[in-house]
Structure 1
Amino acid sequence: MQSAARPRFVRAMTIYAIGDIHGHLDLLRVAHDRVEADRAREGTRDAPLVHVGDLVDRGPDSRGVIALMMALVAQDDRVTVLKGNHDNMFVLFAQDIPTEDPHLRRDLSWLHPRLGGQDTLASYGIDTSLPMAEVHRQTRAMVPEAHIAFLDALPLSLVHDGVLAVHAGIRPGVPLDRQTPQDLFWIRGGFLDDVTDHGALVVHGHTTVINVELHPNRLAIDTGAAYGGPLSAVAIEGRDVYLLTDAGRKPVRPLG
């Protein structure tokens, strides 16, 4: 009589995600290296990689980040880059007539030191101490049109195997095709404090956390690269999440 077959463990499909970059090309290269090392160890060569947006602002090399991401997306169909609110503010400023994101407070602008637009333009050699009209003229002349077109065309979400990746979050209870860009770019209140099971695990950045946070319904991965913190890369398998480090995977313990 043939013995019963041993049960075979089947691991959930893997998806990699990287948090808000904010112009830190050096940290982005390290995060990519960690993803590639994990692919080699775990045999996940075909697994997708999503970046949750905010390529630009506050860091020293937004231009370099955009150039790298453009090249990567063009040559690697596993890679998705989402549009963040800072990416969108750059696009709006670079139009024929510069505009501000309507979500911003009226006393702020993209070039306010708190938001980091000055750092982005400086990476293109633009002198932001000049009058605004001249700053805009230089932006139009010195920022490659391909960079703005790339940012403008970025998707706002990615759905893959039980994961919904967005920049900031979602409006709970609203179908994805009815979510507004403003919510996907900016939402905090009404999302971060919501405990609804969204069906998919919502993977997001935008709101800085000290360490990657795995909640029952969402995964927060913006660990503050914009403010001197690390740029986190994670591997997601179902509801299991692993922080990628130079020493390998580190399980992220669920909260709540």
Structure 2
Amino acid sequence: MVEDNHSVCEMMEMFFKKEQWQVTFAYDGLQAEDKFKNDSQKWDIILLDLNLPKKDGMQVAADIRRISPTVPLIMLTARDTESDQVLGLEIGADDYVTKPFSPITLIARIKALYRRSALSAHDDVNKQSSSFDVETKHFKMNTKTREVYLYDQPITDLTPKEFDLLKTLASKPRQVFTRSQLLQLVWDYEYYGDERTVDAHIKKLRQKLEKVGPQVIQTVWGVGYKFDDEGQAQ
């Protein structure tokens, strides 16, 4: 947890201990980066405040994502403007929580993200199967090994939320999902209408997919998004 307010850290430490979670605190941006770089594979999840001394949280998030595209990342922010929240999501945050927050709410967010990322990450250790359980004309995905191929090219830098979002769309090709449906299916809890979260993740996901071929995530104006690679040719 990267947070310069020691009172907040002390409060959350009690809740983490109740959950029997081990936690390490960093109190500024530079300290956070040092701890992460020393062992980037160590961390199951990162809670990152945006307003930090020595190095801004946005910069820290971008640096973390360059080192690890997949480590689950939740941003904590006192900034309640749409631009800050969308920018954080576009940089690579899987979720954000606005201050002041309820510790119980934050714990719930952590659990929701962990359910969808850490368990699959453990499966990745034992890559026993090369079969793909999601497969379309130009796309294939193994949800156990987290292998993803589009136009026979590997997609290796997906964040946990981007992976889940792509899986949800590709599992039902050409079906149109509303933003509200995607929030419930991918984020695993109510976002109370905060649909820009979906748009920010779709934008980042599209940028990664476009590196290997024609776009397969389509916007259905006034409704939502769908996955369709039937008419695409590399």
- Shared fold per TM-score greater than 0.5: no
TM-score, with length taken from structure 2: 0.30
Which structure exhibits the higher relative contact order, with contacts defined as CA atoms closer than 8 Å and separated by 6 or more residues? 1
More helix by share: 2
Q: Which has the larger radius of gyration?
A: 1
**When the two structures are superposed, what TM-score results if normalisation uses the length of structure 1?**
0.28
